[in-house]
Chain A
């Protein structure tokens, strides 16, 4: 079981006189749990998610983000004792991904000319390679330098990486069925020309393929119609139920929480988590609004 532990996180925009956005965020998400992170615009929710993933636009001024791993986190892989706790702030974004962090973007990038299949298989193999290197310090790149194409070069090199083309296509097909995505997406360019809803489905699909320990989903529900909201919700629940992924879901709306029931709800205000509770907190918030939280926090202070 993996635990993402955010302690007293302070961060600002990484430029001269950059605005201070986070002022002491504390949050803990474990594998298998679903957390909802709510809060008004500008409270620091998205910034928190980007900093977890390692976005270079922010500078952490205080606090830390730790990832604790346990033996069962990567299947049968034995994790060495000295590689069980990681300070994510010292790692590159791809290294964080390799250790099981996933960020579902509010506005996913559109990458022209790169098919979904090629992208996802490359990512999956890169993740597996990098994980081995981080955990065991192995660098077997030499071995990987084999070539030979059985498929279109756009699908990448058949022999390259742990997961071959055929095996990968099967995996992708299964996950797409689960999300009710059309198979034709496999050959489409990554997010290029996707509708808002398709992009969000695709974020969940990527999480399903990469099997993260902790998935941070930034406003995955925005811009979704009701049918797609249900598909996406089904996908998120499956991440938890079938892969044991811990989910930190950032949302403005109660709506998605009807389909993805959170174990914990947190409310952010002005760069801090000010209130946490169970699912009922979300409903209360829906009724009373953020002003209620603000008043409560001020009163308590």
Chain B
């Protein structure tokens, strides 16, 4: 075994995600959401006045907007009462903005990320790592060679201070305005932590950068904001990992992601989420892609009680392209509502969407997607493929692939399959010596293989393990 794979020796994936740490914090906001709460959070972060104003404006929008309740087949959000949520917990660390040495973290926090395998992954396969614990980033580091080339990878709170001009221009202005949806507005009001990535013109960041978001406390909300600006001709792969242990009270994760893909730039955004089954995961992720640019969204949505997540790409410049690959797994009591949105707003734009979902033990997966081709987006093409695999007759899966095509010279392809796992397939594998469970597991890992093969090996392994655990029903 090569040394750089040693960290994968830890096989008890269940234990790796399920442990809880005693809840210690330097600052805990009151439950609920008021103007006062927002002012206190902003002050605790020592933010400039304009950011506080944006937060307060977002809060007003949040209060005005109704909860989404009438989408066909959508998850039940009636339990999500924002007044029951602790919106902000600043972990008890000495250095605000994240240390750059794991050893400088308190033992319990360091141990958390050790268990999650983050420091090991950093050593072996990453250009940089950010690690968020509760509401703030506690560790942030990037290899010097990227820093020398002008690449910025820092926590979002710090970026507000140190890259104020860029943040002011891009932060929830042109990509994901708070008015977009109720949870984007909530996010705009109480966002905290997250990553800021800036890649200068023509720089290719060869190894991925990763951010890991861990919620440890009961009943809290995590609202990290990620802003990626990739200038002309640059290239970067950002990986996001998330998890939380299970508590009886619900947790809320409502992240916001904004990606600006410059001319001929290429951004890949990969997510492996493994929320506990009491977490509501309601995110808004969107990219704006300039001429000749390329955006790739790769998402593995595991865990959570309910997920609503539809990463979007706005193909703004001629020849811009998008690639979506999503996988969702819903077990007992879960409703995983995911999909993709692509707006073809320029000629010769191209998108491909590939969605795979698995439902088991009464779980529900939905594919909810939108492809919009604007009038004038001549010679654009889109291909959408959604496959759903169900384990039993109790599980459900719905496919809602909306298409709005306002241009005639376009190429549109759509395929969808919904099926129960094949008895003949299982028998075939059993007749070769695999038991029933292993046979099913092999079929599922093959079903998601087009996705795992896109990921770096560490994450492919991780995703496969998570799926195995989900199938055994052993994750909280």
Contacts and interface: CB of A to CB of B under 8 A. Distances in A.
Interface in A112-137: 112-114, 119-120, 122-124, 126-127, 130
DSSP majority for the B interface?
Answer: helix
A57 B430 CA distance: 14
Given A56-B423, A56-B427, A150-B5, A210 B445 contact: no
Given A92-B436, A124-B433, A150-B2, A109 B428 contact: yes
Nearest to B453: A154
B8 interface: yes
A152 interface: yes
Interface stretch (A16-24, A141-149, A289-297): A141-149
Interface in A65-91: none
A130 B431 CA distance: 13
Interface stretch (A93-101, A222-230, A250-258): A93-101
Interface string A248-268: 000000000000000000000
A111 B442 CA distance: 9
Contacts of B5: 148-150
B430 A92 contact: yes
B464 A94 contact: no
A93 B430 contact: yes
Interface in B401-438: 422-425, 427-436, 438
Contacts of B10: 147
Interface string A181-224: 00000000110000000000000001000100000000000000
A235 interface: no
Chain A interface extent, by class = 35 or more
Contacts of B425: 109, 111
A14 to B, nearest CB: 12
B167 interface: no
A55 interface: yes
Contacts of A130: 433, 435
A124 to B, nearest CB: 7
B1 A153 contact: no
Contact of B446 (A96, A111, A158): A111
Contacts of A150: 1-2, 5
Contacts, number: 118
Contacts of B423: 56-57
B1 A148 contact: yes
Given A94-B430, A158-B1, A109 B442 contact: no
Contacts of B473: none
Contacts of A114: 442-443, 445-446, 449
A55 B425 CA distance: 11
Contacts of B436: 92, 94
A210 B434 CA distance: 12
B247 interface: no
A51 B446 CA distance: 27
Given A113-B450, A114-B445, A94 B9 contact: no
Contact of B464 (A57, A92, A112, A153): A153
A57 B446 CA distance: 25
Interface string B445-459: 111111011000100
B8 A149 contact: yes
A87 to B, nearest CB: 18
Nearest to A53: B431
A189 B449 CA distance: 10
A55 B439 CA distance: 14
B78 interface: no
B469 interface: no
Nearest to A209: B432
A120 B8 CA distance: 24
Among B423, B425, B432, B457, chain A packs the most CB atoms within 10 A around the CB of B432
A103 interface: yes
Contact of B438 (A122, A154, A210): A122
A111 B448 contact: no
Given A105-B428, A147-B9, A123 B434 contact: yes
A145 B429 contact: no
Interface in A126-179: 126-127, 130, 145-150, 152-154, 158-159
Nearest to A96: B431
B15 interface: no
Contacts of A152: 457, 460
A277 interface: no
Among A103, A127, A149, chain B packs the most CB atoms within 10 A around the CB of A149
A244 interface: no
Given A114-B449, A146-B11, A148-B5, A210 B435 contact: no
Nearest to B459: A153
Contacts of B445: 113-114
A53 B431 CA distance: 6
A207 B438 CA distance: 20
Nearest to A152: B457
A123 B457 contact: no
Contacts of B447: 112-113
A147 B5 CA distance: 10
B8 A148 contact: yes
A146 B12 CA distance: 10
A108 interface: yes
Interface in A46-64: 53-57
Contacts of B2: 150
Contacts of A127: 432-433
B12 to A, nearest CB: 9
A54 B430 CA distance: 9
A93 B453 CA distance: 31
Contacts of A108: 428
Nearest to A159: B1
A203 to B, nearest CB: 10
B461 interface: yes
Contacts of B6: 148
A98 B428 contact: no
Contacts of B453: 154
Contacts of B450: 113
Contact of A94 (B1, B434, B449): B434
Nearest to A114: B446
Contacts of A189: 446, 449
Contact of B434 (A96, A102, A122): A122
Interface of B: 1-2, 5-6, 8-11, 422-425, 427-436, 438-439, 442-443, 445-450, 452-453, 457, 460-461, 464
Given A149-B5, A159-B1, A190-B446, 11 more contacts: A53-B431, A55-B427, A97-B431, A98-B433, A112-B447, A113-B445, A122-B438, A123-B434, A126-B434, A148-B6, A206-B432
Q: Which 5 A-B pairs have the closest CB atoms?
A: A113-B446, A113-B449, A127-B433, A109-B428, A114-B446
13 contacts: A54-B431, A93-B427, A97-B431, A97-B433, A109-B422, A109-B424, A112-B446, A113-B447, A114-B442, A145-B11, A149-B5, A150-B1, A189-B449
